[in-house]
């Protein structure tokens, strides 16, 4: 767990991150086939977070079941392979991280162009739904990024960027649990 240099120190003087590492080390003493970790990234510094990610992946690669409960979606996105999302006592999703993000991404494409009107006209004529984000950015639904590129190139509409939208795990989670939230903060 990387605590060798602190082996002679009292655990009561450990930082939160060091106590997290100590807890993981204690959990591993029995060489368990299943680990259940609650908020294992809490209190870790950046080096500790990287260590924890690698450690959890290595345990799973050994064939152990590694169950992690966490509110840090960015860490789960970088670590987990499979998710079970619960809300109000019900399972809302039981899927891979990749599938959940793909569903939340919804096939949207972000387009940056200085010829907004021409692009909107060409895309609408092809059946796409276009939403204006700002002066040069559009969101396109109904066409894949490659189709947008082909269409705009054929119509000689200039563009600076065409990118498939990729939702974050946090955005996917918030969308999935939107109706399962018990307490909401008030907007100011």
> Structural domain boundaries of the chain?
4-80, 106-164
Instruction: Tell me the pLDDT tens digit for each residue of 123-176.
Output: 999 988 898 888 888 889 888 889 999 999 999 999 999 988 888 888 888 888
Residue 67, helix vs strand vs coil: strand
Q: How far apart are CA 122 and CA 22, in angstroms?
A: 60
**Token pair of 149, please?**
């590129």
Average pLDDT over residues 9-22: 77
Q: How far apart are CA 173 and CA 86, in angstroms?
A: 10
Instruction: Tell me the pLDDT tens digit for each residue of 72-130.
Output: 888 888 888 888 888 888 888 899 988 888 888 877 888 999 998 999 999 999 988 89
Q: What is the pTM of this model?
A: 0.64
**Token pair of 52, please?**
């924890």
CATH number of 4-80: 3.40.50.300
Give the contacts of 13 (CB within 8 A, at least 6 positions apart): none
CATH fold, domain 106-164, is Alpha-Beta Plaits (3.30.70)
- Sign, CA torsion 115/117/118/124: positive
């Amino acid at each position: 767990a990387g605590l060798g240099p602190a082996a002679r120190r009292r655990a009561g003087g450990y930082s939160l991150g060091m106590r997290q590492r100590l807890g993981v080390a204690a959990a591993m003493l029995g060489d368990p086939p299943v680990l259940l970790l609650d908020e294992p990234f809490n209190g870790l510094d950046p080096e500790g977070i990287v260590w924890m990610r690698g450690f959890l992946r290595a345990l799973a690669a050994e064939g152990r079941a590694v169950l992690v409960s966490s509110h840090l979606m960015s860490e789960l996105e970088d670590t987990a392979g499979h998710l079970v999302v619960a809300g109000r006592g019900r399972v809302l999703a039981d899927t891979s991280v990749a599938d959940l993000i793909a569903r939340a991404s919804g096939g949207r494409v972000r387009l940056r162009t200085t010829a907004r009107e021409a692009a909107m006209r060409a895309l609408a004529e092809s059946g796409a739904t276009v939403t204006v984000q700002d002066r040069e950015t559009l969101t396109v639904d109904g066409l894949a990024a490659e189709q947008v590129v082909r269409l705009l190139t054929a119509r000689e509409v200039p563009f600076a960027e065409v990118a498939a939208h990729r939702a974050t795990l946090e955005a996917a989670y918030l969308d999935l649990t939107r109706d399962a939230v018990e307490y909401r903060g008030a907007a100011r």
